[in-house]
Structure 1
Amino acid sequence: MGGTSKSETTQSSTTAPWAPTQGLLGNIINQLGTASSNTGLTGAQSGALDTVTNNSNATAGLFGPQQQNYAQSLYNGGGALDQAGAVNQNYQNYYNQTNPLASNTNYNPYDTPGFKDAINTATSDITNNINGSFAAAGRDFSGANSQALARGLTQGLAPTIAAQYNQNVQNQQGAAGNLYNAGNTNAGILSSLQQQYLTNQGAGLNAASGGLDLSNAGANATLAAEAQRFGIPIQNLGLLANIGIPIAGLGSQSTGQSSTTNQMSGAQQFGLITGGIGSLLGNFGTGRAFPKLFG
């Protein structure tokens, strides 16, 4: 004998830790909606942008032509060759003034102006001195007189002639070197002046840019302040959202149903039946089981 006994129970439960955050989330959403409708320019922002535009236009009108001229000058070489003619002319003037000395390769002392006169004077003095000595001794025009005269002239004139030759070489080389150095010096000076001119132009361009920045400083500060005025509330909302949204994700709601089935043994079922029959017979004995029959 077998049978089945089944019992069922239903349970539901709800957990809602997010419930306290609903008001906060709603407030954040409302403020985001308000902020999203105010993303246009404020009056201060619009005025600041107008100032920047006006300053830019005014500065461009004042310094724009200079900037264009500066760029055009650079494209054309910045006038670096404008002084080439003056440099060449200065060099040519100095060249003409130092020539023919600078280009002279004739170092003959006798071709040096005034050298012959000096040699003639020295020759006369040496000759008179030596001949006078021999004449006083009664030996003038002798072989010894001629030999002494030749040696005296050589010893007296040779150093002078050699010194003048070396001086002529030194003068020519010095003049040529000075001529070359003068050309380089003039070119360097003029080039430095030209570079300084370009540097001054560049400084003027930077000054113009600095003037524009200074004119826009107040407007840019206003724009920055207005950007913070709009951005700070949004940042605050973001911070609140970073706290509230994770809390809202913690909640859950669940409903569950459970059933239990019990399987009874044959002895259990027999006991239940026997108990039922005994109870029924007991009622017969008392007349309660069928009251109409024993009434």
Structure 2
Amino acid sequence: MGGSSQQTTQSTSQASPYAPAKGAIDNILGQLGGQASNAGPTPTENNALNTLQSNAAAGNPYAGAIGNVATNLLNGGGAKANDGNISTNLANYQGMLAPYANGSMIGKNTALQGQLDQIRQDVSNQVNSQFAAAGRDGSAANLQALGRGIAQGTAPVIAGQYNQDVANQLNAANSLYGAGNSTYGLLNQNQQAANANAQAGAGVGSAALDANNWGANQQLAAEAQRRGIPMQNLATLLGSISPVAQAFGTQTGNSTTNSQMSGAQQFATIAGGLGNLSKFLWG
């Protein structure tokens, strides 16, 4: 048969630096330890942080202007400011061309009457003088010739004026149609510009909000630096000291040893123990 035994031992080991380097290492560690009291912000750093906080407390000087731009853009940015004038121009134009477009000016050329009167006068003088020379002044033939001559003289003028009046009517109608389309196009462009400005205003509105929050955010950032500087410095010192402390520190631990004995070894051990006991008891 076999048996086992267990033994627990405690060991401590000391890692010491190379003797000639110990003085230099102790000096470095002493200096690093002394730097712990200097981990906080320096006066220069504090002055810079105080300046940042002072500027932040004053707020973003452009916040108001940015807000005004955002409000103006959200209201259309003035893109429709001239809509009234554009509509008024169309109304005035329509008023001026309406008599021509609706045909009420056909045959209303006041200068035409004078031209017709002159034709009648010229024809009458010419025809009557011819019949008077023939001794037939006032005869039926005289009147017939006079009427025919006046008709032949005035008809082309009247027809030409009528054609011109009708052409003016059509031109006026076309002009009104074109002016209406142009006006509506301008108004639509203005509306589209106003919509685009409103969308841009939404983006500027976010910038205005950021500008209003700028001061508070800057103060938080300054305080974060005020807290972070000591932590960073201490972390740097700790990173410098920890490897040295681990390399040359004291190491303590427990160890357990198990061993297995054969039957003969156990018998010999027991026999030796009994022999020692007999000697103790019987001398």
TM-score category (smaller protein): 0.3 to 0.5
TM-score (norm 1): 0.43
TM-score by length of 2: 0.44
Indicate the structure (1 or 2) with the bigger Cα radius of gyration: 1
